[in-house]
């Protein structure tokens, strides 16, 4: 029982996230671009905080709820996750992508995970598809338009 109380006391007195705050202190000003940080442990969020500015010109700070357009940056993480699954033998690079995404339409030829990783599938990027459909990138574009395009209209 004493050990539990001591551990609890240490957690209360020295929160783990204090080190995170210290690491980002230099960027946590109204003159610096910053970051949104979340500390997770076994699926639980222990700490989340924004540091610095999301937009220096308009003086918009980053908060723990700031939304970022990660766009193509996410491709590396997806590719790494696929590489891990291939290494574990759970999937193969030459799998038909529709094995894993059955909702993807049949485009008349097999598209493999390897095709997607090497950008050789022949699938167009969503901005190009919306442009072909006559949409302007300055328009408000919903997530539904991006994820469920009308392939028949293209």
Q: Please list the active-site residues.
A: 72
SS percent in the chain: helix, strand, coil, step 5: 40, 15, 45
DSSP one-letter code for 151:
G
Pairing of β 60-61 and β 44-51? unpaired
Cβ burial of 18 (10 Å; 0-12, 13-18, 19+) is exposed
């Amino acid at each position: 029982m004493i050990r539990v109380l001591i551990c609890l006391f240490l957690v209360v007195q020295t929160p783990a996230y204090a080190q995170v705050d210290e690491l980002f202190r230099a960027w946590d000003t109204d003159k610096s671009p910053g970051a949104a940080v979340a500390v997770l442990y076994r699926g639980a969020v222990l700490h989340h905080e924004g540091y610095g500015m999301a937009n220096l010109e308009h003086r918009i700070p980053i908060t723990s709820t700031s939304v970022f357009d990660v766009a193509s940056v996410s491709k590396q993480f997806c590719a790494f996750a696929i590489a891990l699954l291939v290494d574990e033998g759970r999937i193969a690079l030459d799998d038909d992508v529709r094995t894993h995404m059955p909702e993807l339409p049949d485009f008349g030829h097999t598209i493999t995970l390897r095709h997607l990783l090497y950008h050789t599938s022949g699938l167009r990027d969503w901005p190009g598809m919306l442009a072909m459909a006559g949409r302007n990138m300055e328009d408000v574009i919903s997530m539904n338009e991006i994820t469920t395009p009308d392939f028949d209209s293209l």
